[in-house]
Structure 1
Amino acid sequence: MRTEPDLSNLDNYAEVNGITICYRTLGSQDNPPLLLIMGLGAQLISWPKDLLERFSDEGFFVITFDNRDCGLSSKTEGEPEDSGGLLVQAATGEKVTQKYSLSNMALDSVALLNHLGFDAAHIVGASMGGMIAQTIAIEHPSSVLSLTSIMSATGNPEEFTPTEEALNALLAAPENSKDQIIEANVVASKTLAGPHWDEDYARDLARRNYDRSFHPKGIGFQIGAIAMSGDRTERLAPLRIPSLVVHGTVDPLLPLHNGISTAEAIPEAELLIFEEMGHDLPEKHWTQLIEGIKSLSNKK
């Protein structure tokens, strides 16, 4: 059974951009920084320990953190709006106003880098994290040595075409008991993943996530940030940053055309398509991902 140890002793905290960010680092600070940004409601522990160690072994100083409204970082006061309603508003082009946007979350990331003494880093984002990474590249290009966008999208509402099952998994209301919540998260993980899904690992991660921080309201606020931020397609066109777009062929939440469109929107971006990868990052693809990011980091 694949499980991971408790590494809570590695948690650090930074007061940046008016909030508290929980973060961890791995490797030598003399190495080029690699900032990894997780997706919707996903804590920093969602990055597998073995993957982080492999990045470190490749010569990166690895930085992971909890986005605001997730994990052990600051939580927004009040109640979020209905997530389904926000997505409908965004899809129809209606203006959405929320507590914060992806621009605020991008600034959180840049401020954390500055707190750690870096002016720029190799930026890697998964899902919503990819949207944040793109926003950093657009709004803070001098902070980006390279950009990697994994299983993400440009924000074009016409391309948000999830399966009904995937959308239900994204918007499902939380259950009542710890066991029910963990089981619901396992089911959601399976719904979003490709055929290489690891049930034991998914269950262990769901348990660790619950024990570390259970904050379902945060997902609503983060969906609000996505809905408020709109389509980045035209804003990506001026980028002159080494970029890699990674996507799976069987992603039910953000189908493959989202990755293709992202790569087309970013000048000279490389597109890396993983067969049989859903909205997840199975171990079988790690080597190719690491090689892609390493190659990208060597570009000028």
Structure 2
Amino acid sequence: MNGDCTIYFERFGSPDDPTLLLVNGLGSQCVNYEEAWCERFAAEGYQVIRFDNRDVGLSTHFTDAPVGDDGAAYSLRDMAADAIAVLDAVGVERAHVMGLSMGGMIVQQLAIHHRDRLLTITSVMSRTGEREYGQSTPEAFALLTAPPVTERDDVLDRAVASLHVWGSPAFRDEERARAQAARAYERAFDPAGVGRQYFAVVAAGSWADELAGVTTPTLVLHGSADTLIDISGGRRTAELIPGARFVEIEGMGHDYPPEFWQRWIDEWTSFVAASTPT
């Protein structure tokens, strides 16, 4: 619990191992971190926790939340506090934290406001809130901000359309995209909640000035083929955080198909081994 917000989470691996907390992107439920993906990290010797951000999945949906002057019902900092509430619930004092897209923004907020709870942070396919960096292509932005669809078939078609706009070009698997979208639709469907998350991102503005004070060991990953958040967003994040390590993944878009999993795990485990005391 974080105040009146209940957060749903799941665990993989042994609670005796160091913890890796996974933070989702805009509108993405925890099941987007597939079980096979989580089990791979667990096999490396980590307790893996995935959770639903507020307003998606099985966590609290803020249907009647008042909207502030900035158009947002809550902030990215509030969402970072939700992540801390998950660590509190499982009794973990400090964790490795990895976030994708909006999740990367939340992870950066954790590094700014909750550094005492972190071992490392990994910001993936994300940005710093600065308008000059990490912008979408016109096609990607138009699809991101298109009116939501509500019928199941239309939702699955939208997932396929998104895949062809910002997915990794060499690994566009329409069947997999449809299956993921169907699972999320059947588990919990709330486009208004996704809209509230979007406004939290917009209202955050830039937090670039605060990143210079981050002391947590930081890894930044970004795909060269990302059209939703240009790779300049990742480069800028690594530039502003002292000592951050930047890794470009050639050919990866704004997704992470299984073909990239091993490279990702290898980069992350190498970074953690170099960044944390034995």
TM-score (norm 2): 0.94
CA shift, 1:116, in A, is 0.6
In 1, Cα distance between equivalents of 2:151 and 2:20? 37
Q: Does the CA-based 8 Å contact 1:16-1:115 persist in structure 2?
A: no
State the partner residue of 2:218.
243
Percent identical across equivalent pairs?
40
1:44 to 19, 30, 43: 30
Residue 80 of structure 1 and its aligned partner are, at CA, apart by: 9.0
CA separation in 1, counterparts of 2:66 and 2:227?
25
Q: How many residues align?
A: 274
| SS at structure 1 position matched to 2:236 | helix
Partner SS for 1:148:
strand
Q: Which residue of 2 aligns with 1:163?
A: 137
Using the TM superposition, name which of 101-110 and 194-203 deviates more: 194-203
Q: Secondary structure at the match of 2:132?
A: helix
Structure 2 equivalent of residue 31 of structure 1: 17
Distance in 1, matches of 2:227 and 2:6, equals 33
Give the conservation status (yes or no) of the 8 Å contact 2:126–2:134: no
Q: How far 1:48 sits from its partner (Å)?
A: 2.0
Corresponding position of 2:2: 16
1:271 to 242, 246, 261: 246
1:71 corresponding residue in structure 2: 57
Q: Decide whether aligned partners of structure 1 residues 135 and 171 sit closer, same or farther in structure 2, where only a CA change above 3 A counts.
A: same
**1:17 offset after TM fit, Å?**
3.2
Partner of 2:264: 289
Partner of 2:89: 115
Query: Does 95-104 or 141-150 show the bigger shift?
Result: 95-104
Task: Report the counterpart of residue 108 of structure 2 in structure 1.
Answer: 134
Alpha-carbon spacing, 1:80–1:252, altered in 2? closer, same or farther (3 Å):
farther
Post-superposition CA distance 1:237-267 (Å, at most 9, x none): 1112111000011111111111110110111
For the residue of structure 1 that corresponds to 2:72, the secondary structure is coil
Q: Distance in 2 between the 1:176 and 1:201 partners?
A: 20
Q: Which runs of 5+ in 2 are unaligned?
A: none
Is structure 2 residue 172 aligned with structure 1 residue 186?
no
Contact 1:186 1:206 survives alignment (8 Å): no
Question: Residue 207 of structure 2 is aligned with which of 232, 236, 241?
Answer: 232
In the aligned structure 1, how far is the partner of 2:134 from the partner of 2:239? 16
Q: Which amino acid aligns with 2:226?
A: D
Q: Greater shift after overlay, 152-161 or 127-136?
A: 152-161
The answer to whether the Cα contact below 8 Å between 1:80 and 1:217 also exists between their aligned partners in 2 is no
Question: What is the Cα-based RMSD across aligned positions, in Å?
Answer: 1.7
Change over 3 Å in CA distance of 1:98–1:175 after alignment to 2 = closer
TM-score by length of 1: 0.87
Letter in 1 for 2:86: L
Partner of 1:280: helix, strand, or coil? coil
Q: Deviations over 1:112-163 (max 9, x none)?
A: 1011101111000000000000000100001110010000001112224211
1:210 to 182, 185, 207: 185
Q: Tell me how far apart the structure 1 counterparts of residues 46 and 201 of structure 2 sit (CA, whole Å).
A: 29
Q: What is the letter of the counterpart of residue 194 of structure 1?
A: S
Give the 4+ runs in structure 1 shifted more than 3 A: 78-81
In structure 2, what is the Cα distance between the partners aligned to 1:175 and 1:243?
A: 37
The aligned residue for residue 61 of structure 1 is 47
Q: Is the 8 Å Cα contact of residues 79 and 217 (structure 1) preserved in structure 2?
A: no
User: How far 1:231 sits from its partner (Å)?
Assistant: 1.1
- Name the amino acid aligned to 2:118: V
- Are 1:248 and 1:275, in contact at CA under 8 Å, matched by a contact in 2? yes
Q: State the shift of 1:297 in Å.
A: 2.2
Q: Please give the per-residue CA displacement for 1:154-188, whole angstroms capped at 9, x wherever unaligned.
A: 11122242112111221122224211222122212
